[in-house]
Structure 1
Amino acid sequence: MANDDLTGDNLFNDPYPVYARLRKEAPVALFEASHEYFVTRWADCQTVGANDAVFGPSDSELRPEARVFGMPNVLSMSGPEHQSLRAGIDYEVQQARVDTYVEDLARPIANRYIDAILARGEADLTQELFEPISVRLIGDLIGLGHVPNDTLQGWFHAINGGLQNIVAQDPAIWARCDQAIADIDDVMGKMYEAACATPDKSLFSHVIHGGLPDGQRRAFADIMPTMRVIILGGLQEPGHGAANATFGILGDANQTAMMRSDPAGRALKAYDEGLRWIAPIGVTPRVAYRDFELAGTKIAEGSSVAIVLASANRDESRWDNAEAFDMDRKRKSHAAFGYRPHFCSGHYLSRAAGRIALEETFNRLPNLRLDPEKPTSSKGWRFRGVTSLPARWDA
């Protein structure tokens, strides 16, 4: 049975062989460790993601998101309350707004961190370039410009660890996660008081006030579960998306040659393919409102369901040579940003930031290549990325 491979360790180390077998043998499979059905085929993921009448956001206290983020949060909400909150979140990251500031915000940040490593001729591109670019850019947008990069990176790594600790239940991982949440609440509690007194242009301020009648604001306790979602997904995704794409590019001579020949023209295609190839956010949760049969499996009312975005993005029925990174493949929509009504608010900003980071990296680091003496590493399944990407270039 394909379920034999469905273990926490296998998923954490490399979920893709597990997903490939599940798609063939058990496309809807119960993962006992997290008490949820994995839906792994593209068409079935579309069915669950588009059928709001049957599959809605999960607010179960048993889910790891409840333990880590708190409830309710933007991922667990629906209806008018969710729409109102999304209005506050979406304002600063909608396309029309992003186009007014992304170049002036993102390109100087990217070049600042490239400048810091340029003369060395070698670096871990994830830890020393793409993660710092991502956390600084999104951190500044949120309103966390006064918080150092190391702190921001520590926050999202600790929260990520908590989300993926549902099987192992390692006390040390929970301790780091809980401490990060306490630190976030302490820092943002002070920001909350300031933003209530004097609203500003930060995303945090918009979440406090946006989508509400004039003069009203959301309570601190009500918005912090959603802010933790934004901190994890927002700080992490652009950086890991760029790292995943770079790993794919540098792992193939033809892809490397194409990227070097036209960084500006290829950067967005490369970033999008990186998101498909290794989805930074691997699953999105739902709950069944009633009994439903999918791919021959009966899902009972009240069951937790995981739309496995990472698996859908490698479904052989949708993409030729789906396991390979190919920025030149025929363009089709992927599932890395999820499904409405919880489609990622920051998708346009993520793609713009990733494009700029890749463009500047391949423009400014001549003959960029993987370091043959140091291994790369990837980990995770709820959130996955190339966590270490040692590289060299001609300094």
Structure 2
Amino acid sequence: MGRRPVIDLREFGDAFRTDPHPYYAKLREQGPVHRVRLGGADTGQLTWLVVGYEEARAALADPRLAKDTARIGSPLLDEEKIGKYLLVTDPPQHTRLRSLVTRAFTMRRVERLRPRIQQITDDLLDEMLPRGRADLIEAMAYPLPLTVICELLGVPDMDRAEFRRISTEVVAPTSADTEYDAVVALARYLRDLIEDKRSAGPTDDLLSDLIRTTAEDGDRLSSRELSGMAYLLLIAGHETTVNLVGNGVHALLAHPDQLAALRADMGLLEGAVEEMLRYEGPVETGTYRYAAETLEIAGTVIEKGQSVMIGLTAAGRDGDRYADPDRFDIRRDARGHLAFGHGIHYCLGAPLARLEGRIAIGTLLERAPGLALDGSPGEWLPGLLMRGMRSLPVRW
């Protein structure tokens, strides 16, 4: 196929942020891999963008596409200020870090959270439902996963409005300056938190367990590795679930036939959540990968050192993988979607996100039988990392 001309995503305007799917479909018609120029905080930056399902799945597992920027001599801002974490490391360092984290962040630990997630959901709905209408993001989709991840990690109560501002700026920056300030503020907070936990002694939370976790050979996480891991778990552990719940409920309310089908048979909930993840997943593209050597993806040459973004949202709407991909169908077999990635970087928190999504959406539908949209959703987040709305007005 060879090289293709550069496509300037900025020329698509706000329509691309609101609904990128038609643009990804047009790109797929031309081929699965494109050279693009970015907008937003990365304005003007050139990268490769993968929009085909099979190519995306293969690229996610390709060891020639490095995550560790040290291999190309260009550390990322969050890595520089906070420390190494899973999304910016490759084997063997990634293998070591993931092994240490999974010793503490187990499936059993996630399942133990089920009653607490249900209680938090019920408490939020107790507060929300008497009002008759609300912004679902503000009232439930945001506070639920934030409360869960903060309690899981042992993060004390914080100013949620301020934390939301900082975390959203980190994952969907509006400018390079505001992103820098947000990362620096979060780095300072995490360093202080870890030092407080070290001096306070053992407690029954995940961050304390990570501080104590030791491998058979005596290996432990360093202070910067702990900071990086806390950063990843805290940010990824709630931002993705906010968008899973918000996007999922929006998809249901925009498709009354599917909402009715789910209400008639809540046994469809598990599959419905998977379809939500395929149809409008919480992460639009995976974080940058870098060609550790010159390679080809679908006949397109990627030169050593060049960056690659893998379109998770785009892959979910590839008609070669999913028939009639723009149709939202909760009975569809959506297995194999890439919403949580694929390969060694598959999302560590996927089981927790799925559990929160099922409990939140299932409980909401049961307790608000008249749930409906109450106007247009707020603007979609900027940038190509997260896919979510700033607000979702609903009534019941």
Range class of TM-score, shorter chain:
0.7 to 0.9
Change (3 A) 1:63 1:270: farther
Q: What's the TM-score once normalised by structure 2's chain length?
A: 0.87
> RMSD across aligned C-alpha pairs, in angstroms?
2.6
Offset of residue 156 of structure 1: 1.6
Quote the offset at 1:208 in angstroms.
Answer: 3.1
SS in 1 for 2:345: coil
Q: What's 1:221 paired with?
A: 224
Describe how 1:40-55 pairs up with structure 2 within 5 A.
40-52=51-63, 54-55=64-65
Cα distance in 1 between the residues matched to 2:118 and 2:75: 33
Gaps of 5+ in 1: none
Offset at residue 209 of structure 1 (A): 3.6
Deviations 1:113-146 (A, max 9, x none): 1111110110111122111111111121121142
Aligned counterpart, 1:384: 387
User: Alpha carbons of 1:184 and 1:87: their partners in 2 closer, same or farther (altered >3 Å)?
Assistant: same
Q: Secondary structure at the match of 2:92?
A: helix
Q: How far did 1:298 drift?
A: 1.1
C-alpha distance in 2, partners of 1:65/1:25?
33
Residues 147, 346 of structure 1: CA spacing in aligned structure 2 closer, same or farther, 3 A cutoff?
same
Shift of 1:187: 3.2
> 2:214 and 2:323 mapped to 1: Cα distance?
43
The answer to whether residue 100 in structure 2 is matched with residue 95 in structure 1 is: no
Kept in 2: contact 1:50–1:339 (CA 8 A): yes
Which residue of structure 1 lines up, in the alignment, with residue 323 of structure 2?
320
What is the distance in 2 between the residues matched to 1:214 and 1:195?
24
The question of whether the paired residues in 1 share the 8 Å contact of 2:291 and 2:303 is answered with yes
2:122 alignment counterpart: 111
Q: 1:121 to 1:91 in 2, by over 3 A?
A: farther
**Deviations, residues 255-307 of structure 1 (Å, cap 9, x unaligned):** 111222234x2332222222111221222232222222222311112221111
Q: 1:10-25, aligned counterparts within 5 Å?
A: 11-25=16-30
- C-alpha separation in 2, matches of 1:113 and 1:64: 43
My pick for the range that moved more, 3-12 or 112-121, is 3-12
* Residue 309 of structure 2 corresponds to residue 306 of structure 1: yes
How is 1:33-72 mapped onto 2 (pairs within 5 angstroms)?
A: 33-52=44-63, 54-59=64-69, 66-70=76-80, 72=84
Q: Are 2:137 and 2:246, in contact at CA under 8 Å, matched by a contact in 1? A: yes
Give me the TM-score of the superposition, normalised by structure 1: 0.87
Listed as ranges, the matches of 1:65-80 within 5 Å are 66-70=76-80, 72-80=84-92
Match of 2:237 among 229, 234, 239: 234
Question: Which letter maps to 1:21?
Answer: K
Q: Which residue of 1 aligns with 2:197?
A: 195
1:246 offset after TM fit, Å? 0.5
2:347 is aligned to 344
CA distance 1:91–1:262, change in 2 (3 Å): farther
Alignment correspondent of 2:41: none
Comparing 254-263 with 68-77, greater Cα deviation is found at 68-77
Alpha-carbon distance in 2 for matches of 1:97, 1:7: 43
Unaligned runs of 5+ in 2: 38-43
Deviates more, 1:354-363 or 1:57-66: 57-66
**Matched-pair contact (CA < 8 Å) for 2:271–2:333:** no
One-letter identity of the residue aligned with 2:362 = E
Q: Deviations over 1:153-204 (max 9, x none)?
A: 2232121233xx5xxxx36xx23x3443344334333321233242333222
Tell me, in whole angstroms, the C-alpha distance in 1 between the residues paired with 2:18 and 2:72.
Answer: 24
Check the 8 A contact 2:85/2:97 in 1, yes or no.
no
Displacement of 1:249: 0.6
Equivalent residue, structure 2, for 1:31: 36
Check whether the contact 1:208–1:223 (CA below 8 A) recurs between aligned residues. yes
Match of 2:141 in 1: 130
- Structure-2 change in CA distance of 1:245 and 1:23 (3 Å): same
Give the 5 Å matches for 1:329-368. 329-368=332-371
Classify the secondary structure of the residue corresponding to 1:360.
Answer: helix
Deviation, 1:80, is 3.1
Partner SS state of residue 378, structure 1: coil
**Whole-angstrom CA distance in 2 between matches of 1:310 and 1:295:** 19
Q: Aligned partners of 1:245 and 1:337: how far apart in 2?
A: 15
For 2:325, the aligned partner's letter is A
In structure 2, the residue matched to 1:270 is 272
The aligned residue for residue 283 of structure 2 is: 281
Distance in 1, matches of 2:381 and 2:56, equals 23
- Measure, in 2, the Cα distance between the counterparts of 1:31 and 1:213: 46
Instruction: Say whether residues 1:149 and 2:160 are aligned partners.
Output: yes
- Percent of matched pairs sharing the same residue: 26
Paired residues in the alignment total 380
1:258 paired to 2:261: yes
